[in-house]
Amino acid sequence: MHVSKGVRTRALLIAAMAVVIASASQASLLLIRHQLLDEVTDRLSRDLQRSVASFQDLQAQRLNALDRENALLADLPTLKALMTSHDTRTIQNEAVDFRNVSGNDLFALAGADGQVVAAYTNTSLRSDAQLASQLEPLLASPNMLYLISGDRLFACSVRPLYFGSEASGALLGYVISGFAIDRTLVEQISRATMVQASFVSDGRALASTITPPAQDWLVRSPPLPRGSVTRSLTLGGERYLANTVDLTSRSSAPLQLVVLKSFAEADNSIRQIDHLILIAGLLAMVLGTLLMLALSHAVTRPLEELAAGVRAFGSGDSAHLLPHRGTREVRDLSASFSKMRQEIQRANRALLEAERLATIGRMASSVSHDLRHYLAAVYANAEFLASARLSESERADILGDIRSAVYGTTELLESMLTFGRTGSAVRRSPQMIATLLEHAVDIVRKHPDAANVALVATYGFPETTVAVVDAQQIERAIYNILLNACQSRSPSPAVIHVSAMLEVQGDQIVLEVTDDGAGVSDDIRGSLFQPFVSKGKQKGSGLGLTLAHCIAAEHGGSLVLVSSRPGETIFRMCIARGWAPEESAFSESSSPEVANEAKFS
């Protein structure tokens, strides 16, 4: 079963630390940024309110100065004398001198009936009739201060002209003075108040200190609410805090003063703080990683040594040193594993000793029975040979029985010796398995148990059956399989037919042995290849198939019982043609029982 290696504990600890630091840094950054934005917005809002008040105060000062200048003009006797002429052309011509004296951007004279008869700007030499008509509403509304004429914005002052005193004199007309509110004027006030300002009317920026692209953003943005309202705006990619003052009630057309405070300086400060937090987070991550590496090394290194000790013990190395340093839990685990290893070793020694005794007992029981049988035959027939009344033919029969008993004893001892040597001193060389099969067949045919057995071996071309094997062991395995088939007699005295078929299948050579005997008993099919299992046979020590099974495993193959029933039993042995052995016969390919029995043989 494939087992995934998984993630190392050190990597998990470092990853967890990195995630914690990154999350903490991000959370801190968001919290600090949110707090700073709230504080900056509150501070800018207060600054903007003060700036709006300062802006309006400066503008009021300019208007007061304009009122005083206009009052001085209204008290000039020459201007009063001009207005008594009631001649429009004379007033228009003479008004140019008074405009020059005032030095204002707008100058106008109106009659007592409220009709403007002369209106001049600093850019016109003649009276502007359109401007005159736009000025007349100012006379009807004393509170109106702002005049919008085309794309120009003026702040105006209106003073009446009296013949005599203002309380008892006759009204001669009105003098109107004003100054243009343009970019230059707004910039002067903005520098004093540290804000940006823009006068907006009907989607137009009449006078503004912001850039033309930002003015376009301002006029295209949603309509600003009337009244003094503070809100956040983004103009031309730059954020502003804006305060809107509605001046429509004092203007000849809808007019709003938008005062803006830029977030640029605050954003730069926040970005610097962000960078500092990020740098601090990176430093914390680097230092935390180094610290976690040191801590994880102190924690995981003993665990790795303990895991190496477990793997070594699993592979049979019980002398591998276990860690004696690390945390308390690791030391306790190491001590517990050391005790467990000692207990397992003691239990294994006890189990091996018990298995050794059991194997010796089974071996003694099986061998003693067969040896007594053979020795009794030798002893009895030897006594018969001492008799002088036996004929030559009878002596020959008795001598044959003695020879058979000696042969059986030799066969038993040879099987035990081979069983004890299996897995060691294997000498391999290229051999033709067909030739080894022929030799084994010849030897089996001479065995007494092969009497009344029709033994046939079939194979293809011998040179195709070449394999790198230990010839003596392979021949012994084939011999044992064939002899086992010959010994599987049925109750009837009929002739037993045994066939051996050898063929090459890829990188393996397969031998199938079939007999028509009584078959393998159901009681021993599960332990057929264990030592000393020979139920149902009249002869044999029970080591033949065990040896064949071990030899096949040593040669990279196997021995299996394909099928068995009365009249047909099939054994199949496979060996690798060029297998390089790395393990003994008692590896995982062999049964644990066989391995344990072989170790103590």
Q: Which three-class secondary structure state does DSSP give residue 442?
A: helix
CB 249 within 8 A of CB 274: no
Please report the pLDDT score of residue 599 as a whole number. Answer: 29
Q: Answer with the residue of higher pLDDT: 497 or 522.
A: 497
What's the start-to-end Cα distance of the chain, in Å?
33
CB 352 within 8 A of CB 360: no
Please report the pLDDT score of residue 373 as a whole number. Answer: 57
- pLDDT at 312 > cutoff 60: yes
pLDDT in tens, 81-115: 888 888 888 888 888 888 888 888 889 999 888 88
pLDDT in tens, 536-592: 554 555 677 888 888 898 888 999 988 888 888 999 999 998 754 433 333 333 333
pLDDT in tens, 322-366: 777 777 777 888 888 888 888 888 888 888 777 766 766 666 655
Question: What's the CA gap between 593 and 197, in Å, rounded?
Answer: 100
Of 269, 261, 264, the C-alpha closest to 42 is 261
Q: Do domains 75-181 and 425-599 have the same CATH topology?
A: no
CATH of domain 425-599: 3.30.565.10
CB 596 within 8 A of CB 546: no
Please report the pLDDT score of residue 500 as a whole number. Answer: 94
pLDDT in tens, 31-67: 877 777 777 777 777 777 777 787 778 888 888 888 8
CB 500 within 8 A of CB 513: yes
- pLDDT at 502 > cutoff 90: yes
Please report the pLDDT score of residue 601 as a whole number. Answer: 27
Question: What's the CA gap between 319 and 302, in Å, rounded?
Answer: 17
Fold of 75-181: Beta-Lactamase (3.30.450)
- pLDDT at 525 > cutoff 80: no
Question: What's the CA gap between 514 and 518, in Å, rounded?
Answer: 12
Q: Between the CA atoms of 550, 551, 556 and 561, what dihedral angle is there, to the nearest 10 degrees? A: -60
Tokens describing residue 123: 């850019």
Please report the pLDDT score of residue 576 as a whole number. Answer: 92
Tokens describing residue 108: 């106008």
For the full predicted model, state whether its pTM sits above 0.75. no
User: Scanning the structure block, which residue is given the tokens 């934005």?
Assistant: 37
pLDDT in tens, 224-280: 555 555 677 777 677 777 888 888 888 888 888 888 877 777 778 777 887 888 888
Largest CA distance in the chain: 196
- pLDDT at 371 > cutoff 80: no
Domain locations in the chain? 75-181, 425-599
Question: What's the CA gap between 441 and 450, in Å, rounded?
Answer: 10
CB 569 within 8 A of CB 463: no
Under the banding of pLDDT at 50, 70 and 90, the label for residue 133 is confident
